[in-house]
Structure 1
Amino acid sequence: MAYKEGWVLVNGIPTHVLTWGCWIDDPKPDGKSIILCISGNPGVTPFYKRFLCALNKQLDMPIWILSHAGHELPPMSINMKMPKNNKLFTLSGQIQHKAAFIKKYIPEDQNIYFIGHSVGAKIVSELLKNENLCKRTKKCYLVFPTLERIAETPNAKFFIPLATYFTPTILFFAWIFSCFPNMLRSILVKTFFIVARRIKIDETCLEAALHLILPAVLKKVFFLAMDEMDTIKELEIQALNEFKDKLKIYFTPTDNWAPLSHYESLKAAMPDIDATVLSEQFQHAFVLDMPEETATLLSEEIKKEQAK
């Protein structure tokens, strides 16, 4: 299915959109469904391109993803400016951003399959509190979701002091890095992933990583992350119960953002919820090292849902 990307204003915020199947302004087929992917943090869309390309090859359905508010900077040529209101870039602002996009671009006669990764899963769960949107939602696939007590997770215990005390220093080094020639920056990023994660990233992930390291982007990413720590507290059992039949949730034993204790607390509170623990080979940042395998997993589940 045809691929297209572009920039639109959503809530007055420049937003990068990637689509497979039909562009957001194209006429939508009557009675059809759309897959909308809500990313984790960082919400830099090229990180998800390989995953969604693989998903597109296995499903005959439009697939869309949009950047998080403030996480991608528009090219100078399109003359869009990022607003300065920080409330637009909080978790609440990101939820409103996605709701505004859906209201503007997905007609009410279209059903939606959501894929929510990490904090994107939390955003999806908040969107489903809207009764009308919930009725239009066929299924939500929450991949390694941060639904509760994120500030208590192993990764947060490292991240919170880092962001609290060293953000200005990190942004300063990011600015220095942005002054390096493109080739040198690319070599350094590739080397980092080989050393730190023992993987060779493809060109789309390299593009995403280089964009992420821009100081203006990194600042918004840290800002959202710290707001997540303050905002995502107890598991919202009552809200999840309202639409639990629409949820398919995945955890992995190796996840330090959505640890197995979250799976256990979810199952203890809601024994009949459809939650699965995948094998250890799946990582929280699956888009880096297992995008095709995750796409196959989800495409099979979506096909089962379509066949009902």
Structure 2
Amino acid sequence: MLPRLASCCWSARFLSHSLLLSPLTSTRYNTKCLVNYNMTVDNNLLAEPMRRANFRLCNVSGHISEVLEIRAEAPKLHVLFVPGNPGVILFYKDFVEFLYELLEGTASVTVMFLRELAAIGHVSHSRKDLEKGRMFSLQEQIDHKIDFIREELQNIEIPILLVGHSIGSYISIEIFKKSPEKVKYCIGLYPFLTLNLQSTTQLFIGKIAKSQVLASALSYLIASLGLLPVRALRFMVRKSLGKSWSVNAVEAACSHLSQYHTMRNVLYMAMTEFRKLSETPDWTFMRERKAQLAFLFGVDDHWGPLNLLEESGSASIGEHV
């Protein structure tokens, strides 16, 4: 459920490649590639100043939501990122900034490829309990993102590209279905589209999530860790979960996941995810829109196993690493 932050560079590179070959524009753009053939970061390029994502709170249909964004003066494209579960948007700060930098380039006619990039977190997956203990289902999180597009992006005339991670891929597809006039392309990174009956991890999480007693107990246990000194909590997170995580990701885990309301919402959303994703994915829609869809699968990712690529019946809409 937690973000595969170690795959940030490759995920962003795949995403930019998919974007540049998408039907959003008839012009092919060159990207400023920040990774070399060995998939390591190019330190010379990273030494250049990088645009930082701005964090803000916005009101979406009465719900205070956390947003990261990088704006451009005259954008030609708006990229909207939808997180997985947990939907703590600060987990993805480095990814958002890296992606923006990776897409920075020039067209073959030397016209700047300008775009805006925004990332919106899930309701109540936040540091403060702004919803007073209310829990939000998968469908309510989908509706929340649709409302965000309607309220925050209603006046933009440029195409919207949706990028989803894990369950965010499923959410993005549902948004795509309901907003085809605005959304022109959708990319799923390590997509969670249906239950994996072979995954013991999913079985374990599912049993906890559907039990109010177990979900509450686990949430209280994790929240109690927030009473530890900050340095001790950081050490525990880095050693147990985030050995390859960035400083920003570790800080987000310490500040958000140590909140009772956040963990309860994570588990409640997981329960509704598992219930909905027990159904067969809408392969018909995805095949019909395969020119506007792209997926990145991981060979060791139980949330989006490679057999999904085979079941889709169209290898042209997915790749794996």
The TM-score with structure 2 as length reference comes to 0.74
Alignment of 1:202-281 (within 5 A): 202-210=246-254, 211-232=256-277, 233-267=279-313, 271=314, 273-278=316-321
Q: CA deviation at 1:150?
A: 4.8
1:56 aligns with 2:100: yes
Distance 2:91 2:265 in 1: 17
Q: Given that residues 196 and 302 in structure 2 are in contact (C-alpha distance below 8 angstroms), is that contact kept between their aligned partners in structure 1? A: no
Q: Given that residues 35 and 112 in structure 1 are in contact (C-alpha distance below 8 angstroms), is that contact kept between their aligned partners in structure 2? A: yes
Distance 1:169 1:110 in 2: 46
1:122 aligns with 2:165: no
SS in 2 for 1:114: strand
Q: CA deviation at 1:83?
A: 5.2
Distance 1:206 1:250 in 2: 25
1:186 aligns with 2:251: no
Q: Given that residues 113 and 139 in structure 1 are in contact (C-alpha distance below 8 angstroms), is that contact kept between their aligned partners in structure 2? A: yes
Q: Given that residues 94 and 248 in structure 2 are in contact (C-alpha distance below 8 angstroms), is that contact kept between their aligned partners in structure 1? A: yes
Alignment of 1:1-308 (within 5 A): 1=51, 3-22=53-72, 29=74, 32-60=76-104, 61-74=115-128, 81-82=130-131, 85-86=134-135, 89-106=136-153, 107-130=155-178, 133-150=179-196, 153-165=199-211, 166-193=214-241, 199-210=243-254, 211-232=256-277, 233-267=279-313, 271=314, 273-278=316-321
Q: Given that residues 153 and 258 in structure 1 are in contact (C-alpha distance below 8 angstroms), is that contact kept between their aligned partners in structure 2? A: no
Q: Is the alpha carbon distance of 1:223 and 1:161 closer, same or farther for their aligned partners in structure 2, counting shifts above 3 Å?
A: same
> Any stretches of 5+ residues in structure 2 without a counterpart?
1-50, 105-114
- Residues 191-236 of structure 1 show CA distances to partners (whole Å, capped at 9, x for unaligned) of 2136xxxx24322111121111311101100000110000112111
Q: Is the alpha carbon distance of 1:180 and 1:83 closer, same or farther for their aligned partners in structure 2, counting shifts above 3 Å?
A: closer
Give % identity: 24
Distance 2:150 2:248 in 1: 29
Q: Given that residues 188 and 294 in structure 2 are in contact (C-alpha distance below 8 angstroms), is that contact kept between their aligned partners in structure 1? A: yes
Residues paired across the two proteins, number = 256
Q: CA deviation at 1:138?
A: 3.2
